Amino acid sequence: MNEDSIKIARKYMDSLLVESRIIGAVHPASKITFCGYEFDTPIMTAALSHIDLVSMAEGAKKLNAPVSIGMGDNDELKKVLATGAHVMKIIKPYKDRDEIFSRIECARENGAMAVGMDVEHSVNVDDDEDSIVVGKEMKLPTVEELREYVETAKIPFFIKGALSVHDAVKALELGCKGIILSHHNGLMRCAVPPVMLLPEIRDEVGDDLTLIVDGGIESGFDAFKAIALGADLVSIGKPLMDPIKEEGAEGAYSLLKKMTGQLRAMMCRTGAKDLESIDPSVIWME
Ligand SMILES: Cc1cc2nc3c(=O)[nH]c(=O)nc-3n(C[C@H](O)[C@H](O)[C@H](O)COP(=O)(O)O)c2cc1C
């Protein structure tokens, strides 16, 4: 029995193979416009926490990569934003809704490019009770509450943990700018791999939602597969942990740079001159 969504997603990713279209290929560009800013890579930091987020943001900024960060207080958020990096703050589904409104306001007032909520962390893995995360009570948000958060934000809002056409359509109806397809390190057991869902979701929502894929993106080659199948951006979490612990901002910068290089290598070898030109038909399934 394998209920581990991380392993299931890895197996799926490894089953995707890429054909070469080297004749006539050119050196590609990996620029992307996201939430009104131009970045040099579609590989962003995942919503991490309990790590030096200032160094993570500094490293991403050096490469001109987008940043997302996870739970933490408003002081930490201000410090991350003071780096000048373009940041999406992912807010927990706190039971105390004032905690949510205060973070939304802090993010907006201090120049965050977007906010979001990791709705997937509101309930436990093995029962349907609301979670407690690092001593803080969470609550499964209602659709009305989510709508209120989206409207209060007045900057782009993302739902993290959306993993179906159903959720994508709901997010669109709520006025979200996009979704982060994520099972949050297996919080959802037996989850359909986020990358597997991409084509169906993209077909349904077209360009109306920005699609970010998270979970098990370990290289720029993985990032390429996700983008080919419909992602606008990918985000990386666990692979950044050791580089940040060992080398701080330089560690984050080096890893994002290496992965962006691998992504560009694959774009070049498949004849894509830019991200929009990546052709899904280069992907084969084993
Ligand atoms: C140490 C650590 C802390 C995390 N904290 C948060 C968080 O506060 N909010 C959130 O939405 N996700 C959080 N995540 C989940 C990541 O954003 C991401 O969904 C997950 O790690 C899967 O991506 P990966 O396979 O690239 O690590 C955390 C992950 C790790 C490893």
By DSSP bridging, strand 178-181 and strand 210-214 are parallel
Locate the domains of the chain by residue range.
5-285
For ligand 1, mutation pick of 238, 240, 244 (most atoms within 8 Å of CB): 238
Mean pLDDT of the chain: 97
Give ligand 1 pocket residues (Cβ under 6 A): 46-50, 70-71, 90, 118, 160, 182, 184-185, 214-217, 236-238
pLDDT digits 0-9 by tens, 160-200? 999 999 999 999 999 999 999 999 999 999 999 999 999 99
Q: What is the pLDDT of residue 262?
A: 98
Which of 49, 52, 92, 245 most suits a substitution to test ligand 1, by most atoms within 8 Å of the C-beta? 49
Closest atom of ligand 1 to 6 CA is 25
- Expressed in angstroms and rounded, the spacing between residue 32 Cα and the centre of ligand 1 is 23
Average pLDDT (239-266) is: 98
Please write the tens of the pLDDT for every residue from 80-138.
Answer: 999 999 999 999 999 999 999 999 999 999 999 999 999 999 999 999 999 999 999 99
Counting beta carbons within 10 angstroms of the beta carbon of residue 127, is it exposed (0 to 12), middle (13 to 18) or buried (19 or more)? Answer: exposed
Amino acid making up residue 185: N
Report phi then psi at 185, rounded to 5.
Answer: 55, 40
Q: If pLDDT is split at 50, 70 and 90, which confidence band does 222 have?
A: very high
Which atom of ligand 1 lies closest to the CA of 51? 1
Tokens 């109306």, residue located: 208
CATH of 5-285, picked from 1.20.1560.10, 3.20.20.70, 2.40.30.10, 3.40.50.720, is 3.20.20.70
How many angstroms separate the CA atoms of 196 and 230, rounded?
A: 10
Question: Where residue 286 falls among pLDDT bands split at 50, 70, 90?
Answer: confident
Q: Which two tokens stand for residue 138?
A: 């969470």
Catalytic residue among 86, 121, 183, 184: 184
Compute, in angstroms, the gap from residue 216 CA to the centroid of ligand 1.
11
Distance 145 CA to ligand 1 centre (A): 23
Side-chain half-sphere exposure of 230, counting CA atoms within 13 A = 21
pTM of the model as a whole: 0.98
